[in-house]
Chain A
Amino acid sequence: MCRFITILYRLVALKAFRAFLVRRHMEACPRCSAEPSEGMAAGGWADAVRPPDWIRAEACLWPEIERRLREAAAAGPAKASTVPSVPVPRRPAVRLVPAAAALAAVAVLGVLAWRVGHRLPGAGPAAAVSPRVEVLSAEVEGRKARPSIFQTKNASYIWFSRTPDEGGRK
């Protein structure tokens, strides 16, 4: 394990932190994430974790297993079985944690996109709230005038003209 990580590991004696630290470092450091085979057999401590001799010498379980299988077969399915109902582990079809994380990320991105879309000019419902002006009638010097709308990028002008060439006022 890299020296800095080792120091940090020793400084903070919190189980959860240590597990997080080791996990993250193992994912990021190619040297430390390599199979830790070196040094495991050296020093003599590896012998302390070897199985005892009786496991190799007298491990013969078949007679007992066979007896229990025969009892189970004789008892039939109706009676209590000698076969223990140990839940058999099954490989999950979908890894739940990454799937949940992906869903959460999609939800967050969706909310962000929706909020950004609301803030853009002319986008979304904000565009429908733009001010609207309706000219019902117009007069210039007591005479009926005709309104004309002239729009630029940044402003809108309404011209009122009595005759087509008289010009108008804003």
Chain B
Amino acid sequence: MDDDAALISRCRAGDGAAFEALVDRYQSSLLTVTWSVMGNREDARDATQDAFLSAFSNLAGFDSGRSFKSWLFAIAWKRCLDMKRREKTGRKYLPEVERAQAAADVDCPARPERLEDSEVFSPILGHLGPRERAALCLKMNEGYTAAEIAEVLGCAESSARVYVFNAVRRVRDLWRKGNGDV
């Protein structure tokens, strides 16, 4: 199996199959991260697709010395933040439109105001902030170190440690309180 550097070189040369291989390799991991931030399947898929497309568009400028996976995660993280910001703005200024749309769309249940109220998202994760959720997800599912988490989230390594520490502490406290029934 080709490593990332070889696949990226082939992508730059116009090999579409190489990019498909990269998508197959990282889509699950990336979906996990975007899901942990966005809290629902549709937004997670959208953010993941957008991240792959942006990465493909900017492959020419990618620094081969750094990790492609971390770079991809960082793009996805920024995309999630952007989507969250727009969601908040839209919710603030167009509440009536959203309510009307939610009422009309029976297949798509109305998105709750807070993630902890979501019926489909982990109730424990919903109590964390987006940075803490992302940091915890990267730590537990990808085995990332604090330095790698900091690279993805665009923060200092010490801040990444704080996010992981706070996330673990809060999740453990919530679990102990209700044994998952939060």
Inter-chain contacts of B50 with A (CB < 8 A):
84, 86
* B28, B136, B156, most chain A CB atoms within 10 A: B28
Asked if A131 is an interface residue, CB under 8 A from chain B, the answer is no
A: contact size bracket: 35 or more
Q: Is B5 an interface residue (CB 8 A)?
A: no
Name the B residues within 8 Å of A35 (CB-CB): 145-146
Interface size class of B (residues with CB under 8 A): 35 or more
Interface residues of A (CB under 8 A from B): 1, 18-19, 22-23, 26-27, 33, 35-36, 40, 43-46, 48-52, 54-56, 59-62, 64-66, 68-69, 72, 82-91, 97
Where the two chains meet, the residues of B that have a C-beta atom closer than 8 Å to any C-beta of A are 16, 20, 23-24, 27-28, 31-32, 35-36, 41, 45, 48-58, 61, 63, 66, 71, 74-75, 78-79, 82, 122, 124-125, 136-137, 139-141, 145-146, 151, 154, 156, 158-159, 161-162, 164-166, 168, 171-172, 174-176, 179-180
12 contacting pairs across A/B (C-beta < 8 A): A23-B158, A26-B162, A43-B176, A44-B175, A44-B179, A48-B124, A48-B125, A51-B32, A65-B49, A84-B50, A86-B79, A89-B74
